[in-house]
A = this chain, B = another copy of it.
Amino acid sequence: MPKVRVHNVTVSLDGFAAGPHQRLDEPFGDGIEGLHDWMIAAMRDRADGKSGIDVECIERSEENIGATIMGRNMFGPQRGPWQDESWKGWWGDNPPYHHDVFVHTHHVRPSLAMEGGTTFHFTDEPIDTVLARAFDAAAGQDVRIGGGSATVQQYLRAGLIDEMHLVVVPLLVGRGERLLDNVADGIDGYQVTELVSSATATHAHLVRR
């Protein structure tokens, strides 16, 4: 059976996935600089042909994924109705997905076909409807929930996530948006099956019991 997977979701040591005041020039908000340094370094290492715990995690995150679901804040910094439709995501003309990407938003707009096979679909449908569409699009491969925290929480609360790779980095943030918050009993279904640290990050793998 194809799975719903979360990967590379990164939190500070005190559990924050974003600081306060998320905006265009600071998409993860204030006080959280360096949150994704491990990932940037791992991608560079991989490009250089190096291996390691972090590189391995990046590679696992890309294996057998046929569609992605994300929240609107992960697609862009805008809030409320679209002022125009010129924004095409953070990733340039050729986003690194190369498959259908479903963006949860209250403000739908026409689908957006990009270079390299990525098509962004904007939807205000319920999560189980969106997930069914994503499984269709994935055609037998797994579906990845990209983020941000609110989207991951929504799928966690509904018990829809099969595997989650969570990364804890040695930063302290103190305020902002916690990843594992507002999940109520959703977290009860999961257990941590692996906990390993590289020099820069601790990787936890969670699976549904």
Contacts and interface: CB of A to CB of B under 8 A. Distances in A.
Interface string A19-45: 000000000000100000000000000
Interface stretch (A83-91, A94-102, A128-136, A177-185): A177-185
B174 A13 contact: no
Contacts of A13: 166, 168, 180, 192, 195, 204, 206
A191 interface: yes
Interface in A167-200: 168-175, 178, 180, 183-188, 190-192, 194-197, 200
Given A15-B14, A15-B15, A166-B13, A192 B171 contact: yes
Given A168-B202, A195-B197, A196-B197, A184 B190 contact: no
Contacts of A190: 172
Given A13-B192, A192-B13, A174 B185 contact: yes
Given A13-B166, A195-B202, A204-B13, A187 B171 contact: no
Interface residues of A, number: 33
Nearest to A194: B170
A200 B202 CA distance: 12
Given A170-B192, A172-B192, A195-B200, 8 more contacts: A15-B15, A168-B202, A172-B180, A173-B187, A174-B188, A195-B201, A195-B202, A196-B197
23 contacts: A13-B180, A13-B192, A13-B195, A13-B204, A13-B206, A14-B180, A15-B15, A168-B202, A170-B192, A170-B195, A171-B192, A172-B187, A172-B188, A172-B191, A174-B183, A174-B184, A174-B186, A174-B187, A174-B188, A195-B202, A197-B197, A197-B202, A202-B202
